[in-house]
């Protein structure tokens, strides 16, 4: 295959030049995910909001999830570059504001702004690569993206733990530097992307489906809020019922709106007629639950149950990412060589489910080497699943829908991640008080002391656990371990349908053209057909 057919006229060196800019943007987003998750316990303790920490994560994931389809649609109409630069800029501004936060709710609001930028960083990067490189050849370049995840996955937990462990740096609270570090990286990404991403831009007279975006937002956000706070409000409380009603009404209005907008819809309904899209997106949703549920729960387990410092917990998370990187690299090479991909999400989701079962066996006395080996297993499962699902959808939809295809899969995976994090933290903190009391009864400790500890905010600031008498510490830690067991077992059951659904993904031959080259060929074909039709009409008229 020549460069003109596989990459739209770009040489390998030119592709790598563009990738350098994209990888900086992706590094910004992926570093932020890992650096914050490891330090979240310390941040929540400092801001006295351990049980409200889900708002911080949920706010970020909600806005990044909801904005993703909008980035995909707008970039299909007006080009990728301006929106990629916009995403980086918003992310940097949000990072600065996060560093100024003085309460858990302020931090959640600023993380929401940061998430608007994050929604474009990942999805647009993969869309741009899809424009340049054919699905068959894309495996060659997966290793470069995985190297970004590798670097950020190693640096993120370590930096997050180190910053969180510092009382202050240059007179500023150590944890605030977790967000400030994004600023120089973001400015460098802006500079590089503006210089190297010289892709053709297109403009269109199409309308933007802002009402559709608003309806999608009002359908998604109430469901996520209900998943995160439902156990506190009561699943049948008036608040829960109102949120559920808002979501259902919004969804009911969203579907006819998208049908009415047709090709201009923010999420065209025709893509759901494609079985590969529908099944892959559903699997991506369930994989997102497992991925983010594991990423958020493990640092809490390591720090609260094992008593590790944030820095050590970050280092101990490295095997999780090593599994992702290695399996993704191997998967990309095999796909490039053979053109086959269906088997990878089948094996990957099965391995993820097994990993969750293994995680559910973790207890207070589990050796750290065993815990880290389970992380490798989980990472391998994720690496086999994540990018394969994106490529399968990009390959199944027409080249003109590259942005919609990429952003939609990212949307459903992020949606699953948002739901997974909210549900995991809801299950964790919704059950931990009862589990602690059960452990106290087993140890024959007075329940009054445990009740006073939880009522005094002991679960909002888990550093207080270390100040308890040793017998009480053991009871509280054992209660947390029991709740972690429930979280991992719940995630296991959610991954079973993901495994079953992977068998229904139809494996199509991988295209040998990049998205831009395929779109040009498709346009030329349509033009030729139109010319032939006009010629036929003219000949008919003459006759």
Residue 203 within any structural domain of the chain: no
Residue 512 per-residue DSSP state: S
* Gap between the Cα atoms of 505 and 38, Å rounded: 35
**162 and 34 in a common domain:** yes
**233 and 152 in a common domain:** no
Mind listing the pLDDT tens digit for each residue in 116-142? Answer: 998 888 778 878 887 777 776 766 676
pLDDT at 199: 57
pLDDT at 319: 87
Identify the band that residue 209 occupies on the pLDDT scale cut at 50, 70 and 90: confident
Supply the DSSP string of 95-124, one letter for each residue: HHHHHH--SHHHHHHHHHHHHHHHHHHHHH
Output the CA torsion 129→133→139→145 (10° steps): -20
Among 217, 244, 265, give the residue marking a domain's end.
265
Mind listing the pLDDT tens digit for each residue in 220-268? Answer: 788 877 776 776 777 788 888 999 999 999 999 999 988 888 777 777 7
CA neighbours closer than 13 Å in the CB half-sphere of residue 81: 16
* Gap between the Cα atoms of 240 and 258, Å rounded: 27
Residue 541 within any structural domain of the chain: no
pLDDT at 539: 54
pLDDT at 413: 83
User: Can you tell me the mean pLDDT for 167-176?
Assistant: 86
| Residue 89 pLDDT > 80 | yes
Residue 542 within any structural domain of the chain: no
**296 and 418 in a common domain:** yes
Q: How many structural domains comprise the chain? A: 2
**294 and 441 in a common domain:** yes
Mind listing the pLDDT tens digit for each residue in 321-332? Answer: 788 888 888 887
* Gap between the Cα atoms of 19 and 130, Å rounded: 12
Evaluated on CA atoms 303, 307, 312, 316, the torsion sign reads negative
| Residue 280 pLDDT > 80 | yes
Q: Could you tell me the residue range of the domain that residue 312 belongs to?
A: 3-197+266-536
Nearest one of 35, 320, 27, 298 to 156, comparing CA atoms: 35
Average pLDDT, the chain: 80
**224 and 338 in a common domain:** no
State the Rg of the chain over Cα.
Answer: 24
Residue 427 within any structural domain of the chain: yes
pTM for the full predicted model: 0.76
Nearest one of 313, 404, 330, 366 to 130, comparing CA atoms: 404
Residue 514 within any structural domain of the chain: yes
Among 265, 286, 301, give the residue marking a domain's end.
265
The two tokens of residue 188 are: 């460098």
Mind listing the pLDDT tens digit for each residue in 408-428? Answer: 787 888 778 777 877 787 788
* Gap between the Cα atoms of 446 and 52, Å rounded: 28
pLDDT at 206: 59
Residue 343 within any structural domain of the chain: yes
* Gap between the Cα atoms of 99 and 94, Å rounded: 9
**281 and 427 in a common domain:** yes
Query: Which CATH number belongs to the domain containing residue 79 in this structure?
Result: 1.20.1250.20
**181 and 145 in a common domain:** yes
**430 and 308 in a common domain:** yes
| Residue 1 pLDDT > 50 | no
**527 and 447 in a common domain:** yes
Residue 453 to residues 436, 457, 465, 497, Cα–Cα distance (Å): 11, 7, 9, 40
Identify the band that residue 2 occupies on the pLDDT scale cut at 50, 70 and 90: very low
**288 and 213 in a common domain:** no
Residue 23 within any structural domain of the chain: yes
User: How much of the chain exceeds pLDDT 90, in percent?
Assistant: 15
Identify the band that residue 4 occupies on the pLDDT scale cut at 50, 70 and 90: very low
pLDDT at 93: 94
Mind listing the pLDDT tens digit for each residue in 467-526? Answer: 778 888 888 888 889 989 999 998 899 899 999 999 998 888 876 655 555 555 555 555
pLDDT at 153: 66
Who has greater pLDDT, 533 or 215?
A: 215
Identify the band that residue 529 occupies on the pLDDT scale cut at 50, 70 and 90: low
**215 and 361 in a common domain:** no
Identify the band that residue 458 occupies on the pLDDT scale cut at 50, 70 and 90: low
User: Can you tell me the mean pLDDT for 438-453?
Assistant: 79
User: Can you tell me the mean pLDDT for 392-403?
Assistant: 79
pLDDT at 527: 55
pLDDT at 234: 77
| Residue 534 pLDDT > 60 | no
**340 and 214 in a common domain:** no
Could you tell me if 78 and 201 are in contact, meaning their C-beta atoms sit under 8 angstroms apart?
A: yes
Residue 169 within any structural domain of the chain: yes
Among 219, 250, 265, give the residue marking a domain's end.
265
């Amino acid at each position: 295959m020549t460069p003109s057919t596989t990459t739209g006229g770009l040489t390998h060196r030119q592709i790598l030049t563009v990738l350098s800019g994209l990888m900086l943007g992706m590094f910004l987003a992926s570093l932020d995910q890992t650096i914050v998750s490891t330090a979240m316990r310390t941040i929540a303790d400092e801001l006295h909001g351990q049980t409200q920490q889900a708002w911080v994560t949920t706010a970020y994931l909600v806005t990044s999830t909801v904005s993703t389809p909008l980035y995909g649609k707008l970039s299909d109409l007006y080009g990728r570059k301006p929106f990629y630069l916009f995403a980086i800029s918003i992310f940097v501004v949000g990072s600065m504001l996060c560093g100024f936060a003085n309460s858990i709710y302020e931090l959640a609001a600023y993380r929401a702004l940061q998430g608007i930028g994050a929604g474009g960083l990942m999805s647009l990067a993969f869309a741009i690569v899809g424009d340049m490189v054919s699905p068959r050849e894309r495996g060659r370049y997966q290793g470069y993206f995985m190297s970004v995840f590798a670097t950020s996955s190693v640096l993120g937990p370590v930096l997050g733990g180190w910053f969180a462990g510092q009382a202050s740096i240059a007179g500023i609270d150590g944890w605030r530097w977790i967000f400030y570090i994004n600023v120089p990286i973001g400015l460098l990404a802006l500079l590089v992307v503006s210089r190297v991403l010289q892709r053709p831009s297109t403009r269109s007279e199409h309308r933007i489906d802002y009402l559709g975006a608003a309806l999608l937002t009002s359908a998604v956000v109430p469901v996520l809020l209900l998943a995160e706070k439902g156990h506190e409000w009561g699943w049948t409380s008036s608040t829960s019922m109102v949120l559920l009603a808002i979501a259902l009404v919004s969804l009911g209005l969203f579907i006819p709106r998208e049908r009415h907008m047709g090709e201009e819809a923010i999420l065209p309904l025709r893509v759901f007629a494609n079985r590969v899209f529908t099944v892959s997106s559903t699997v991506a949703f369930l994989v997102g639950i497992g991925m983010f549920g594991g990423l958020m729960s493990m640092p809490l387990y390591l720090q609260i149950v094992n008593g590790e410092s944030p820095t050590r917990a970050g280092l101990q998370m490295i095997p999780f990412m090593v599994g992702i990187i290695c399996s993704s690299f191997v998967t990309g090479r095999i796909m490039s060589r053979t053109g086959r991909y269906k088997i990878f999400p089948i094996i990957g989701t099965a391995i993820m489910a097994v990993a969750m079962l293994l995680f559910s066996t973790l207890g207070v006395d589990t050796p750290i080497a065993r815990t880290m080996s389970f992380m490798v297993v989980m990472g391998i499962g994720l690496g086999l699943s994540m990018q394969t699902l994106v490529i399968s959808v990009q390959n199944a939809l027409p080249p003109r829908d590259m942005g919609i295809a990429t952003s939609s899969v990212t949307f459903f995976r992020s949606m699953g991640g948002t739901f997974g994090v909210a549900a995991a933290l809801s299950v964790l903190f919704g059950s931990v008080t009862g589990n602690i009391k059960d452990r106290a009864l087993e140890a024959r400790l007075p329940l009054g002391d445990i009740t006073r500890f939880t009522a005094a905010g002991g679960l909002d600031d888990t550093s207080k656990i270390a100040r308890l008498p040793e017998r009480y510490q053991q009871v509280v830690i054992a209660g947390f371990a029991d709740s972690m067991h429930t979280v991992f077992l719940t995630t296991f059951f959610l991954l079973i349908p993901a495994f079953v659904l992977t068998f229904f993904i139809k494996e199509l031959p991988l295209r040998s053209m990049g998205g831009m080259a395929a779109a040009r060929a498709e346009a030329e074909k349509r033009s030729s057909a139109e010319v032939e039709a006009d010629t036929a009409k003219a000949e008919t008229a003459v006759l």
